[in-house]
Copies of this chain bind each other. A is one copy, B any other.
Amino acid sequence: MHLQGAYGNVPYTVKQYRTNSGISAVANTCTRMETLSSQRPTMLDVAALAGVGLTTVSRVVNGKRGVSETTAARVRAAIEQLDYRHDVQASSLRRLDRKTATIGLVLEDVANPFMSALHRAVEDSARERGMLVFAGSCDEDGGREREFIGALRARRVDGMIVVPAAPDHSYLLPELRVGTPVVFVDRPPRFLDADSVTADDRGGTFMAVSHLVAGGHARIAYLGADQGIATAEERFRGYRDGLAAHGLDVDPTIVRLGLRSIEDAERAAAELLADGRRPTALLSGQNYFTVGAYRALREHDVLRRVALVGFDDFPLAELLDPPVTVVAHDPVELGLAAARLLFRRLDGDRSPSERIVCPVHLVPRGSGETPPKTG
């Protein structure tokens, strides 16, 4: 028991604590002169106050066995009294597995309802394991993705869940090799063999086209994003394949790709509707585009004359009048699956990379069941 002077052979500025039992003890290294009150207590402070060694405090904090219950209680009391907080950064620096109990989540946009629902699912999974998540938005910008992932690397996250934006992910190879698992979600990685959880994009638009054709439509327009985005490409493929499967041709004049925003989609839909030979149905490749298309339909007062089916469900879709028919995949399902996969890797699973594909569902609500009308 060290009552005064120095701890080990490290020189300390003496600081006295008074414990319940009236024992006083020494604490806090203080080479630089600063007001002690503004310093955070360290394990050494706790050790001194509890009258035990540094290692014992470490054992208690990490819940390791080999400490008597009485000692542990004293340590816990000291922690409480000093408002001590373990430093996971310093801890991870020295620990063998270098784990930081932190994961990175690379999203398209944390404020997109689909992405934020996915975020919440990942957060909940992480919390169960006492892990925190760094989330960030890339806005479909590959450069920002690299930048953000670089920042995650610099913080030594234990793993990452990524909605990819970049056209090439081979730059992540060293990271994977060093043992940091990366799970791709919503879209598969490019030029990299890694785990992924995606939705059946092609199947979704195929299903949507079939639904519209079954409803009598033969002139179906398409609103899609840049074909550089894997999801967008697959969805467009489903549209083409769907038409082909029903013996219909793709009419390039009613296909609008490369859209980026609600406004883009609204403009594109407005153009299509203004045309003399306008489509009898609109198929939108993404939640935001569906909203834009809906606005255009309302603006042109053809809400119940031109059908609309959207990919991705969105909040309030069922409250609109008419409610919006969508092809939906559950972001929570994607997020949970991705997290499960990531944690399995963190737990040491080294089996070949997996490609999980979640099914999509058609949710008929009204807007997609409008029969075709001409003029």
A residues neighboring B (CB under 8 Å):
32, 37-40, 83, 85-90, 92-93, 96, 100, 102, 109-111, 113, 116-117, 119-120, 123, 127, 130, 132-137, 150-156, 174, 177-179, 291, 294-295, 298, 314-316, 319-321
Which residues in B have their C-beta under 8 angstroms from that of A120?
A: 109-111, 137
Known A154-B85, A177-B37, A316-B316; contact A132-B123, beta-carbon cutoff 8 A: no
User: In the complex, what distance in Å separates the CA atom of A136 from the CA atom of B137?
Assistant: 15
Q: List 15 A-B contacts (CB under 8 A).
A: A39-B178, A87-B154, A89-B89, A89-B90, A110-B119, A113-B116, A123-B137, A132-B151, A133-B135, A134-B134, A291-B319, A315-B316, A319-B320, A320-B321, A321-B321
Residue of B nearest to A147 (CB): B127
Q: CB distance A133 to B134 under 8 Å? A: yes
**Chain A contact surface mostly:** mixed
A-B residue pairs, 7 tightest by C-beta: A111-B120, A89-B89, A116-B116, A111-B116, A321-B321, A83-B174, A85-B153
Known A110-B116, A111-B120, A132-B151; contact A89-B85, beta-carbon cutoff 8 A: no
How many chain copies does the complex carry? 2
Which residues in B have their C-beta under 8 angstroms from that of A136?
A: 123, 127, 132-133
User: In the complex, what distance in Å separates the CA atom of A127 from the CA atom of B150?
Assistant: 13
Cβ distance A140 to chain B, nearest Cβ, rounded Å:
15
Known A109-B120, A120-B110, A319-B291; contact A88-B39, beta-carbon cutoff 8 A: no
Cβ distance A312 to chain B, nearest Cβ, rounded Å:
13
